[in-house]
Amino acid sequence: MKISGEKSLSSKVENGLKILFLVIVLLDVITLGVAGVAIFSEFNSFSVRENYLTRIVLEAIISVVLLLTGIVALFIIHQFIKIFKNLKENKLFEKENAKALNKICTMSIVIGSLYLICLVGVSILLEYFNTIDFLSSLLIKVLILVFAVAFLIFGIGIKILNYIYIKAIEYKEENDFTI
């Protein structure tokens, strides 16, 4: 199977990324709606609990952080769509691809950091309000930590790949000048 050009693997991946982009947009809208309704309904609830406002604020922060990770993920997918579009058009060693990889690196590290912030918020929420059992609480924290570390490692890996890619572009330009 061809890697670049029309009807190639890169064009199929580009189409898949466009579908994924739309799915994440839909999930972001649903998350925003559900979080808004949940927070608004709790805020307007007539039941009075100890430190109720703190819980609403923590839930709002966690919802916003998760929504922001979805939005940043959209930017990452958009950059990958640009790269695969260039591959489809046989533009392999272009500085535009290196810039896109650099943006992906930065945004991946941002998502990892947002998940770390979410981990702190979830930890406070679960410890302070003690709403679920210890094992479930631990599982949620570990899962968020895994996502945070995965995105941080992904960002670092893309940074290294981008460095290699930039060197390849430099070698290609040197080679083009010598011919």
Q: Give the count of beta carbons closer than 10 Å to the beta carbon of residue 161.
A: 14
Residue 26 belongs to some domain of the structure:
yes
For residues 137 and 169, which has the higher predicted lDDT (pLDDT)? 169
Residue 4 belongs to some domain of the structure:
no
Domain count, the chain: 1
Q: Domain range holding 139?
A: 9-178
**CA 34 to each of CA 18, 101, 114, 173: distance values in angstroms, whole numbers, following the listed order:** 24, 33, 20, 51
* Burial environment of residue 141 by CB neighbours within 10 A (0 to 12, 13 to 18, 19 or more): middle
Residue 59 belongs to some domain of the structure:
yes
Residue 75 belongs to some domain of the structure:
yes
Which helix (H) or strand (E) segment is 118 a member of? helix 95-129
The two tokens of residue 13 are 């991946």
Closest to 14 (Cα-Cα) out of 84, 87, 97? 84
Question: Which range (37-51, 121-135, 152-166) has the least confidence?
Answer: 37-51
Residue 3 belongs to some domain of the structure:
no
**CA 168 to each of CA 38, 49, 89, 97, 149: distance values in angstroms, whole numbers, following the listed order:** 51, 61, 19, 12, 28
What integer pLDDT is reported at residue 109 of this predicted model?
95
Whether pLDDT at 48 is above 50: no
Where do we find the tokens 């947009």? Answer: 25
Residue 1 belongs to some domain of the structure:
no
For residues 172 and 35, which has the higher predicted lDDT (pLDDT)? 172
What integer pLDDT is reported at residue 63 of this predicted model?
77
What integer pLDDT is reported at residue 103 of this predicted model?
96
The CA distance from 138 to 101, in Å, is 34
For residues 85 and 49, which has the higher predicted lDDT (pLDDT)? 85
The two tokens of residue 2 are 């061809």
Residue 2 belongs to some domain of the structure:
no
pTM of the predicted structure, to 2 decimals: 0.77
What integer pLDDT is reported at residue 52 of this predicted model?
65
* Burial environment of residue 155 by CB neighbours within 10 A (0 to 12, 13 to 18, 19 or more): buried
Closest to 101 (Cα-Cα) out of 159, 176, 141? 159
What integer pLDDT is reported at residue 178 of this predicted model?
77
